[in-house]
Structure formats: C-alpha cells, structure tokens
Amino acid sequence: MASKHVGHAIGIDLGTKYSCVAVWDDKNGGAKIIHNEQGNRTTPSCVAFTDSHRLVGDAAKNQAPFNPKNTIFGNNALIYIDAKRLIGRKFSDSIIQADLNLWPFKVVAGVNDKPMISVEYKGEEKLLAAEEISSMILTKMKEIAEAFLESPVKNAVITVPAYFNDSQRKATQDAGAIAGLNVMKIINEPTAAALAYGLQKRGNCFEERNVFVFDLGGGTFDVSIVTIKDDVYEVKATAGDTHLGGEDFDNRMIDFFVKDFNKKNKVDISENPRSLRRLRTACERAKMNLSFVKETTIEVDSLFQGIDFCSLMTRSKFEELNKDLFVKCMDTVEKCLADAKVDKNSVHDVVLVGGSSRIPKLQNLLQEFFLGKDLCKSINPDEAIAYGAAVQAALLAENLSIAPDLVLLDVTPLSLGISLKGDIMCVLIPRNSMIPTKHEKLFGTFEDNQSMAKIAVYEGERTRASDNNLLGLFCLSDLNPSPRRHPIKVCFDLDENGVLKVYAEESKTGKKKEITIVNEKGRLTAQEIKRMIQEAEMYKDDDEKFKEKVEAKIALEEYVYKMSAFMEDAKVSSKIKSSQKKNIEAAIGEGRELLDGNQQNVETADFENCLHKLRSIFDPII
C-alpha cells in the first residue's frame, strides 16, 4: 500500500524537562533514539534569549544560571520554569497565578487574557506565547532528526501528558505547525510507553495483558492502565497530577537546607536567587545520587556571603522529607485502578517511565502495592515515550513492517458534556471513553416558543457544570416556535487526537450549528500561527547569521594566530624583509583590535573583510 505520508516520520517526547526524538529503524526492527549534536540522547526542553542570539537545548540550559530571566523551561533555573504548563491556559487561571510567583521569567496577560512570556532578546522586550516556546523545542528536535537522517523531516507524532485537556492538545498541535511539522497524531505519554514496552516484549503478548504505566517526570505525574492483546493497545484509564514530580522532591531538600544553613550561620539565603539556584543544582544532583547510594554529600563553595556549604544527605532523610508526596503518588495509582475497575492482582506488568521513577522508595512502595511483583525496568525510563511515539509515527506512515496490524486505542482524560438548566453537568462523553468517539443526545427546550438554545460545553468531573472547565459556548437561534420540549440534538465528536467538535441541531428543521471552542480558550488563530511561522523563520535566520558571525570570527582568530606563530618562529621570520615584518605586525595588530574590541556593532562582513586584508598581506609573503 502506498504510504499516506511522504518522507520520514519521527516520534517526539516533548517533556517538561527533557525532550527525546526517535525514528523507526526497519533494518533493526525497532525504534532508534537519536542523539543530539552534543551526543546526548535527551535534550533539555530549554530556550534562552541573550542580547546577541537565541539558544535551544543543552546550550540554553548551560547558560541558565547566568540568565534566569530570559531562560524558559530551564533545568538549572531558580525555580520550576515550564512553558508547557502555560500551554492552552488563560492568564487568570488559578494554576498560572500560583506559579507566577515562582517563575523567574515574566508572564504578562496578552490578547484574550492569553499568558505571554516576556523576554529580552537583542536588547528589546519580546512577548512569546507558550506555543512558540514549545515550537522552538520541537524545531530543535526536528533538526536533530534531520541531521541524523540527512534529509528533511516533516511528519511527527508528539506525545503529551495524559492529563492535557482539549485546548492544551490543540495548542501542542499549533506548536507543531509553527515548527513546520505535520503533526500526524498527538498521543498520551503513557500510551507511548506501553507501546514501546509491548513491542519489545511482543513474545509475551499473545494473551491479554494489563500493563500499568507509572510515569513520574520533572513536574508531572501520569499513571495509566493499558491492555495489550495481540496487536491492540487499549488505554483503560489514566490518572495523574500535573503538579507533581522531581522538582517537588528537589524543593523539599532545598527548604530543608535553607533552614539548616540559617540555623548554623544565622543568615537567610531564601531571598538570594543566585545562592538558591546553586543550591538547587547541588540538591538535584544529590537526589539523583541517592537513587544509587545510601548517602551523599552536598558541597557548594561560597554559597552565601563567602560561607561554604557542606552537608550530608541520607536516603532515609530524603524519604522522610518527601513522605507525603510519595503517598500522594500511591493514591493516584489506586485511583487509576479503581477508575479502570481493574484489580491490582490482574495487573501483569508494571512499567516505570520518567526520570523520577528511579527513586528506590517509590519503587518499593509500588512493588509492595502490587504484592511483590517485579517492576519492568528493561526500557530506559528516559526514552520509552519517544520510542513509542516513533512506533506510532511509523505505523501512521505505514512503513512499519513488524506490526502492520497494530492498533492504538486512547481514552479521553476528562468527561465532556453540556450544562443543563440549574447548572447541572450532563455528560455526553464520560471520562476514560475510548477515542475517537461520537455521542449524540436529544435535549428539549425548557419553555414554550423558546427562540434560541444556549449550549455551554464543559470538561470535568464535577456535578455542577460551572465548577468544571468551560470549553465553549454557542447559541442555536431562530428556532421554530414550538411548545416546550422541542427537540434539539447535540452531538459531540471527539477525534483521534482528543480534539472536540460540538454540533447542535434543531431536529425538525435540520438547522445546525457547530461550536468553535478556539477563541474561548485563547487558542491561536490561523493568522497568529502564520505570523509565528514567519517569526520562526526569522529566528532561524538570526541563528544562522549568528553562526556565520561566530565562524567568521573564528576564521580571523585562527589566521591571526597563524601569523603570530610565524612571527614568533625566529628562524622563519628572519628570512623576511623588515618592511614586510612591519606590515605583518601592523596587520596582526589590526586583527587583534577587531577581535578584542566591543563586538556589539561588529558585523560578519567586518571579520571577513579584515581576514581578506590580512590574507592579501600575509599570503604572498609565505
């Protein structure tokens, strides 16, 4: 069968802290994780802006401590910074408001109350939507794949946390579009992990298996139950916490040491961002060590006012500091099983995903909960999601030879419905319904001769509609004058990406209206996306220009160095005339002046012209 999608299809795990990209490798019958230009298999989900250029990935993360205000998503930055959390939300959203104080970068309200990140780029304020930041990470992952595959890449499957709502998923699609990707599908992270796991263990999957996926990352937590039978993967339930992860464990340790430092030295470092940042880096490193050793020391030279910091942290102390958070994780595990009506005895495999799933205490609690069952650690927890996404991408592109019949069934994370009279939530698509799905219901008007019907669409689990999340609102007007209970059909159509369309139809006349949830949630308009695509091109141009400038500077530097080395070599330089010597020395001086001077207004051409001039003097002599 001819492929629906031309060219390569990649899988991208767009993580809050790290992202990972993979591609199906038909020769080896598996997905291949692609390393970045630094040789790393995961890339920090980090973007930074400076007065001269923009950085993405490792380079952005490395400079984070010196430029926290203009570094988005950073791993080392002061407190959790994460634009993925801004995606598809409104500025007035309580979650955003709570996070605002913690973020070192500035967030302001934009058009339609959409939160915008404010950064300083080349000395000017620039407002960026979260989708734009995500698109920069996606572009980076695309480029990593392109460098490896040595060809342009268009098609991608992108993963999102199972807990992402409708508008967050759409925003992720928009981010993909801005990055110039054809987003073939958005899939849930745990589903991707189960897929990776299922494929690697295909031998065992002839009977139905219930796979429990435990994914604890840097800032989000997802658990899912996926059943695998032959080639069918069905997500039975998902539960999670969008505000729980490795960062929280780091924070507990930081709080502990800030108090400890205060007690011992009578100084408070809690108001000093630089000290906190350095302590954070050290604490995260200690936390990671404690997954492998029972105790570790934390040292930070001159942490505050010249006072060195040195302390011991044991695994048991770490566990005590985070006890309630670990319990919270286990509560979510229980909730997920209850939702799926799956007994823990009938879980066949427990799969660990996400960096924080390496914490021994959590592994113990999980193992205890599942009555001593061995946990599956065969897949690298940092790579499983990208692996699964690459499998899905290959399936959609129809270039997967290993499992041509494989089917992925996903579920919707939140119930979807409309509000009825009295603010009652009437669910049309219950939570954990398999997608894609379509549900219809007939509703009657409340009054005689009602001329219009208002349809308010909500997502959430509360009985009172207004306690849930309003997705959109529309009216079906000019209804036929009729007695009350005049039938109106409402149809919810949830596509395979979890994106919802709602129609309302007056049954008698066939008068129909479709909802546009888009603006209600501050989703980007087509125009805005177009503008952002253009801007992405501009960034690319800027990046390239910057690279050219650096290269021109290095070329000049090398040439000046070559000239100096020549002059210093007495044997060689004694063979040339003194007038030539003078010329060369003057040229070296000129080169150095340009190289060492203020670079603000120096252009690529200045370096090139200088090199050209030096060459015209020096080349004929040697």
Residues that bind ligand ADP (CB under 6 A): 15-18, 217-220, 245-247, 284, 287-288, 291, 354-356, 358-359, 382
Q: Which is nearer to ligand ADP, 322 or 433 (CB)?
A: 322
- Minimum Å gap between C-beta 49 and ligand ADP is 21
- DSSP one-letter string for 205-265: TTS-EEEEEEEE-SS-EEEEEEEEETTEEEEEEEEEETT-SHHHHHHHHHHHHHHHHHHHH
* Maximal CA-CA distance, the chain: 110
- Minimum Å gap between C-beta 216 and Mg ion is 9
Residue 358 interacts, among Mg ion, ligand ADP, none and using kind-specific CB cut-offs from 5 to 8 Å, with ligand ADP
Residue 359 interacts, among ligand ADP, Mg ion, none and using kind-specific CB cut-offs from 5 to 8 Å, with ligand ADP
Catalytic residue among 13, 174, 248, 284: 13
Phi, psi of 268 (to 5 degrees): -110, 115
Catalytic residue among 84, 170, 185, 521: 84
Nearest to 7 by CA among 150, 140, 199, 134: 150
Q: Which is nearer to ligand ADP, 57 or 591 (CB)?
A: 57
Is 13 in the active site? yes
Report whether the peptide linkage leading into residue 104 is cis, meaning its omega lies within 30 degrees of zero.
Answer: no
Residue 506 interacts, among ligand ADP, Mg ion, none and using kind-specific CB cut-offs from 5 to 8 Å, with none
Give dist(CA 112, CA 373) in Å, integer: 50
Q: Which is nearer to ligand ADP, 45 or 450 (CB)?
A: 45
Is 331 in the active site? no
Residue 355 interacts, among ligand ADP, Mg ion, none and using kind-specific CB cut-offs from 5 to 8 Å, with ligand ADP
Nearest to 191 by CA among 464, 391, 455, 417: 391
| Pair type for strands 30-33 and 416-420 | unpaired
- The answer to whether 422 and 433 have CB atoms below 8 angstroms apart is no
Give dist(CA 343, CA 522) in Å, integer: 41
Give dist(CA 14, CA 289) in Å, integer: 25
- The answer to whether 618 and 610 have CB atoms below 8 angstroms apart is no
- The answer to whether 31 and 196 have CB atoms below 8 angstroms apart is yes
Count of residues making up the chain: 622
Q: Which is nearer to Mg ion, 87 or 588 (CB)?
A: 87
Q: Which is nearer to ligand ADP, 211 or 352 (CB)?
A: 352
- The answer to whether 522 and 113 have CB atoms below 8 angstroms apart is yes
Residue 164 interacts, among ligand ADP, Mg ion, none and using kind-specific CB cut-offs from 5 to 8 Å, with none
- Minimum Å gap between C-beta 82 and ligand ADP is 8
Catalytic residue among 99, 131, 174, 189: 189
Q: Which is nearer to Mg ion, 222 or 505 (CB)?
A: 222
- The answer to whether 575 and 524 have CB atoms below 8 angstroms apart is no
- Minimum Å gap between C-beta 417 and ligand ADP is 30
Give dist(CA 386, CA 392) in Å, integer: 10
- SS3 letters across 143-208: HHHHHHHCCCCCEEEEEECCCCCHHHHHHHHHHHHHCCCEEEEEEEHHHHHHHHHHHHCHHHCCCC
Residue 349 interacts, among ligand ADP, Mg ion, none and using kind-specific CB cut-offs from 5 to 8 Å, with none
Site for Mg ion, rule CB under 5 A: 15, 217, 354
Q: Which is nearer to ligand ADP, 220 or 296 (CB)?
A: 220
Phi, psi of 94 (to 5 degrees): -65, -30
Residue 284 interacts, among Mg ion, ligand ADP, none and using kind-specific CB cut-offs from 5 to 8 Å, with ligand ADP
Phi, psi of 313 (to 5 degrees): -130, 125
Is 581 in the active site? no
- Minimum Å gap between C-beta 413 and ligand ADP is 17
- Minimum Å gap between C-beta 287 and ligand ADP is 5
- Minimum Å gap between C-beta 526 and ligand ADP is 30
Q: Which is nearer to Mg ion, 354 or 417 (CB)?
A: 354
Catalytic residue among 99, 166, 174, 215: 215
- Minimum Å gap between C-beta 69 and ligand ADP is 22
Active site residues: 13, 84, 189, 215
